[in-house]
Amino acid sequence: AQKITQTQPGMFVQEKEAVTLDCTYDTSDPSYGLFWYKQPSSGEMIFLIYQGSYDQQNATEGRYSLNFQKARKSANLVISASQLGDSAMYFCATRFITGANSKLTFGKGITLSVRP
Amino acid sequence: DVKVTQSSRYLVKRTGEKVFLECVQDMDHENMFWYRQDPGLGLRLIYFSYDVKMKEKGDIPEGYSVSREKKERFSLILESASTNQTSMYLCASSPTTGRMSTEAFFGQGTRLTVV
């Protein structure tokens, strides 16, 4: 079975600094996608960034970038210039092909707190 | 914009009741998912459906069933609610697997309390 691991229990960062949120995954499938979602205290799930397993370059979306190390099976999210509004729970997710279907699996999440 | 709507934001049910959680999406997505979210455990997949009347078990299907009679609607059923099913339930949808890069879109969640 596929497994997503987010081991950092909680992270703190000073406003305007960068922070890295870790994610590792375990799969034998050659084709998969990696996603990061943000969940603020309001509870909505907000998609942030996507990385495909065959993508040659690391994905970037504004202040978000993904440090993708395929051989190590890691897909860490980097948030640059942190803002107070970045305080939230962050989830790493992977999408694998299982037969004809695509199962989306999430990690346990990491809580990020941005200090003023 | 894609919209995924869950029928209730908050729900309180009694132990032993049969509970229906409804989810509707308006973007003709093939895939739909039900997750439960508990503190420290993240989102755990209960069931997912990749087409009308098609379903697959997720990681924690015990005590749950699902129904997908129409493409836009995916129902989660608790056959006999128990207190350990008190949780936040999240529904999501996404297009077909041929578009791996497309993210899943989530509903606002249903906080279910079983007393």
Across the strands, what pairs with B65? B77
Output the pLDDT for position B50. Answer: 87
* pLDDT score recorded for residue B101: 62
pLDDT confidence band for B74 (50 / 70 / 90) = very high
- Among B88, B92, B101, select the one facing A50 at the smallest CB separation: B101
Instruction: Using the structure block, give the residue that is written with the tokens 């997710």.
Output: A93
**Which residue, A21, A31, A27, A33, is CA-closest to A91?**
A21
Nearest CA in chain B to A106: B43
User: In terms of DSSP bridges, do strands A64-69 and A74-79 run parallel, antiparallel, or are they unpaired?
Assistant: antiparallel
Could you tell me the two tokens for B107?
Answer: 């509903």
CB neighbourhood size of A29 (10 A): 12
Of B61, B97, B115, B82, nearest in space to B16 by CA: B82
pLDDT at A107 over 60: yes
Question: pLDDT tens, A38-82?
Answer: 999 988 999 999 998 888 899 999 999 999 999 999 999 999 999
> What share of chain A in percent tops pLDDT 90?
70
Predicted confidence band of residue B2 (pLDDT cuts 50, 70, 90): low
CA A29, distance to chain mean position in Å, is 19
A interface with B, Cβ–Cβ below 8 Å: 1, 6, 31-33, 35, 37, 43-45, 47, 50, 52, 91, 93, 95, 97, 100-109
pLDDT value at residue B61: 96
Q: State the Cα–Cα distance between residues B3 and B83, nearest whole angstrom.
A: 30
A43, A93, A108 ranked by CB distance to B41: nearest: A108
Share of chain B above pLDDT 90, in %: 75
What's the half-sphere exposure (Cβ side, CA atoms, 13 Å) at B8?
Answer: 16
- pLDDT of A1 higher than 70: no
Contact A21, A8 (CB under 8 A): yes
Per-residue pLDDT tens digits for B30-73? 889 999 999 989 999 999 998 899 999 999 999 999 999 999 99
Note the pLDDT of residue A46. 94
Contact between B31 and B78 (Cβ < 8 Å): no
Q: Do B103 and A91 touch (CB under 8 A)?
A: no
Q: Indicate if the pLDDT at residue B97 is higher than 70.
A: no
- Whether B19 shows a pLDDT value over 80: the answer reads yes
Tokens 């092909």 locate to A97
- Cβ distance A103 to A2 under 8 Å? yes
The residue that leads in pLDDT, B63 or A28, is B63
Q: Which of B80, B68, B74 is nearest to B93 (CA)?
A: B74
Q: Which residues of A touch B45 (CB under 8 A)?
A: 103-106
* A26 or B76, greater pLDDT: B76
Q: What is the mean pLDDT of chain A?
A: 91
Q: What is the DSSP letter of B21?
A: E
Residue B115 predicted with pLDDT over 90: yes
- B10 by DSSP, 3-state: which? strand
Contact A104 B92 (CB under 8 A): yes
CB atoms within 10 A of CB A98: 12
Least confident of A2-6, A45-49, A101-105: A101-105
